[in-house]
Structure 1
């Protein structure tokens, strides 16, 4: 990672910690945010030193909650990852996640 990418990753780690997100998920978000185009899980493994299994597990979580996008390309089995760079869209996604949590809480905990 170059210095700018490291700074971006550190920023997202701090933001993630405030939101209760684990360090690896925050690191992945920082790497994807700093990426100019989509990158593969193998790229993230190389940049972080974590195992493919660990990265895959976190990618599934981040994709399920809508923070990142996964896709494949024809004739290639690799999974390519992308993250929205527009902060307003990111905030909107965050609000949707909070709304989902509130809906679950309302259903599970009677008032």
Structure 2
């Protein structure tokens, strides 16, 4: 029976590593998440490094990002100076709250900065200004499409739950 459990864990660890790669990250991020995903208790930085085979510094850096995007939570235990980490296992909640919301915020910030850059060009009609203006206007159109798509995803997520 243990062979089946080990194979299931291996499949999921590879899935998490592949997911990290698809997002342009090192497979380490996926392996860290996978290690924590299968644990019932939080793990220390040292244990995570030991289980993934990566250095403490690489694991520490990766954990900071995973914590920032809401996939990993840092926990302090009373009387222990070390930090412990656990995976957020409710992926549906994470996806809705962290992933889509962060993308939505990035789309809003992108629009704001594109408009600010367009305003900075002002009445400049030089060749360079016109090229930049054209690129910004194209980006604004793409940004508006992205914003509509994200809003559709958020609306659909709310209706399902």
Fold match, TM over 0.5?
yes
CA-atom RMSD in angstroms: 1.7
Cα deviation 1:36-55 (Å, max 9, x = unaligned): 22111111110111111111
**Which of the pair is proportionally richer in strand?**
1
User: Greater RCO between the two (CA within 8 Å, min separation 6)?
Assistant: 1
Give the corresponding residue for 1:14: 18
Asked which structure has the greater CA Rg, the reply is 2
**Which of the pair is proportionally richer in helix?**
2
Cα deviation 1:3-24 (Å, max 9, x = unaligned): 4432221011122222333211
Give the corresponding residue for 2:65: 61
Q: Which residue among 73, 97, 102 is the counterpart of 2:102?
A: 97
TM-score by length of 2: 0.61
Q: Which runs of 5+ in 1 are unaligned?
A: none
TM-score by length of 1: 0.84
Whole-angstrom distance in 1 between the partners of 2:105 and 2:29: 19
Q: 1:28 deviation in Å?
A: 1.0
Give the corresponding residue for 2:88: 84
Task: Please say if residues 8 and 31 of structure 1, whose CA atoms lie closer than 8 Å, have aligned partners that are also in contact.
Answer: no
Q: 1:88 deviation in Å?
A: 1.1
